């Protein structure tokens, strides 16, 4: 699997002095980080357990600045969620609904194309498409959607369907996940998002998403995708019932698969939003946990190029601070976000390119517009953004 090289940018010399460490358990880990050695799972645990957040952040920022200096990546993208009808009923989810439940929707293909056209009018270089596991939409319907998008917007990268959706299509069609992936790739899918990984450990999955693809199958499908040339992202949903040990196990499994395939592009820790879910009695993760999850990922996932602070979930202020705790990417303009807003996210549903750039600059970083695979975007070679088309919604429930 060829690795996509990040753009060669002149990096400033790191002139950081060593951190003041107040937690003696961090000292051996810090020595490894400064020497560029791989951390072991028990090092990861020490990082999660420490109360010395500033030392942890310093170490993660050290690694981040060594790789990227002050650069912070972002992209101009458009999220499209074609349906929220879902048979899985995960307890962690506020988005999925039964077909006859209030608020259930399924877009007709023309609605999907209209939303895509709106994204293009705003300069999107990527469509990020994920949805529920619909009981009656056929796999052929989804292939038609992909072909239709590719035909209408050939310049836009299609980052489409999680490993969970691929597992579901395989069950529906009785094809192997490999054949499902090959058919999607042939139709025009360019890469895949990283959702649905949650926490791989079966104890946790049994409680939060019992009917969903297992952690083992998620990893197998990601491996297969990488083997056929589809790169993907990876995520971890933190802040519900999982232990630190289970987080470290999750990161270690991702790191092992990345050693094998090199197919992951970016890792994105996702903060659990309990509102409107069957787990609404749980408290939200705190800003402390958000920053820790970014920093530990930067230190443990030494073979991942990019760690993303997803501003939609973290809030823009925490995402800004995360750019000093190991994150080198802040995600995109998004335009319409449903999944976390159904779970009570109060962040805006989109940001303009100018707003994102301002957010990054205000955090003392240098904005760098990338495409999905982190190649620089040359706006002079893209068709000019047009007027934003109205989106009138024809629900096909």
Cα 189 to Cα 160, 180, 182, 225, 231, distances in angstroms: 6, 11, 9, 11, 10
Stretch that binds ligand SF4, among 29-37, 86-94, 113-121, 367-375 (CB under 6 A): 86-94
Binding of ligand SF4 by 96 (CB under 6 A): yes
Q: How far is the CB of 94 from ligand SF4 (least distance, A)?
A: 8
The correct pick among 45, 60, 120, 164 for binding ligand SF4 (CB under 6 A) is: 164
The correct pick among 25, 67, 89, 178 for binding ligand SF4 (CB under 6 A) is: 89
- How far, in Å, CA of 374 to CA of 231, rounded? 12
- How far, in Å, CA of 140 to CA of 150, rounded? 15
Stretch that binds ligand SF4, among 92-100, 115-123, 174-182, 382-390 (CB under 6 A): 92-100
Q: Which is nearer to ligand SF4, 218 or 368 (CB)?
A: 218
Cα 114 to Cα 78, 80, 215, distances in angstroms: 12, 10, 35
The correct pick among 132, 269, 316, 332 for binding ligand SF4 (CB under 6 A) is: 132
Residues in Cβ contact with 306 at an 8 Å cutoff, skipping those fewer than 6 apart: 6, 73, 265, 266, 267, 328, 329, 374
Stretch that binds ligand SF4, among 88-96, 103-111, 181-189, 230-238 (CB under 6 A): 88-96
Q: How far is the CB of 95 from ligand SF4 (least distance, A)?
A: 5
- How far, in Å, CA of 200 to CA of 256, rounded? 13
Binding of ligand SF4 by 95 (CB under 6 A): yes
The correct pick among 88, 175, 217, 382 for binding ligand SF4 (CB under 6 A) is: 88
Q: How far is the CB of 300 from ligand SF4 (least distance, A)?
A: 25
The torsion angles phi and psi of 322, rounded to 5 degrees, stand at -60, -25
Binding of ligand SF4 by 91 (CB under 6 A): no
The correct pick among 26, 39, 71, 93 for binding ligand SF4 (CB under 6 A) is: 93
Q: How far is the CB of 213 from ligand SF4 (least distance, A)?
A: 8
Interface with ligand SF4 (CB under 6 A), residue total 12
The correct pick among 183, 212, 350, 353 for binding ligand SF4 (CB under 6 A) is: 212
The correct pick among 21, 63, 90, 295 for binding ligand SF4 (CB under 6 A) is: 90
Among 211, 230, 112, 199, CA closest to 168? 211
Q: Where are the alpha helices (DSSP H) in the chain?
A: 27-35, 41-49, 53-68, 109-121, 139-152, 163-173, 177-187, 202-208, 215-227, 244-261, 287-300, 311-314, 316-322, 339-342, 353-362
Q: Residue 17's CB: how many other CB atoms inside 10 A?
A: 6
Interface with ligand SF4 (CB under 6 A): 86, 88-90, 93, 95-96, 132-133, 164, 209, 212
């Amino acid at each position: 699997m060829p690795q996509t090289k990040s753009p060669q940018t002149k990096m400033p010399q790191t002139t950081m002095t060593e951190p003041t460490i107040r937690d003696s358990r961090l000292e051996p880990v810090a020595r490894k980080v400064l020497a560029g050695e791989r951390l072991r799972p028990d090092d990861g645990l020490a990082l999660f357990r420490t109360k010395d957040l500033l030392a942890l952040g310093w170490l993660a920022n050290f690694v981040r600045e060594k790789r990227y200096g002050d650069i912070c990546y972002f992209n101009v993208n458009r999220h499209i969620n074609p349906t929220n009808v879902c048979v899985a009923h995960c307890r962690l989810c506020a988005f999925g609904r039964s077909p006859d439940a209030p608020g259930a929707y399924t877009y007709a293909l023309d609605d999907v194309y209209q939303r895509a056209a709106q994204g293009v009018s705003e300069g999107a270089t990527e469509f990020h498409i994920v949805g529920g596991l619909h009981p009656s939409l056929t796999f052929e319907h989804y292939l038609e959607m992909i072909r239709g998008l590719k035909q209408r917007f050939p310049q836009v990268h299609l980052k489409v369907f999680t490993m969970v959706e691929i597992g579901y299509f395989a069950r529906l069609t009785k094809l192997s996940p490999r054949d499902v992936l090959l058919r999607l790739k042939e139709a025009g899918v360019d890469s895949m998002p990283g959702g649905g990984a949650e926490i791989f450990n079966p104890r946790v999955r049994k409680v939060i998403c019992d009917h969903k693809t297992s952690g083992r199958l998620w990893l197998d499908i990601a491996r297969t995708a990488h083997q056929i040339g589809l790169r993907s992202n990876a995520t971890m949903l933190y802040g519900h019932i999982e232990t630190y040990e289970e987080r470290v196990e999750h990161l270690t499994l991702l790191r092992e698969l990345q050693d094998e395939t090199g197919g992951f592009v970016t890792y994105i820790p996702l903060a659990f939003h309990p509102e409107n879910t069957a787990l609404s009695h749980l408290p939200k993760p705190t800003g402390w946990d958000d920053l820790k999850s970014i920093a530990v990922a930067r230190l443990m996932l030494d073979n991942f190029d990019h760690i993303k602070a997803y501003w939609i979930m973290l809030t823009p202020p925490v995402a800004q601070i995360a750019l000093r705790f190991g994150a080198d990417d802040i995600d995109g303009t998004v335009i319409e976000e449903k999944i976390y807003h159904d779970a009570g996210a109060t962040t805006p549903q989109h940001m303009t390119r100018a707003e994102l750039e301002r957010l990054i600059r205000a955090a003392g970083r240098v904005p760098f517009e990338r495409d999905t695979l982190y190649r620089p975007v040359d706006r002079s070679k893209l068709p000019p953004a047009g007027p934003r088309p109205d989106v009138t919604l024809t629900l096909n429930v």
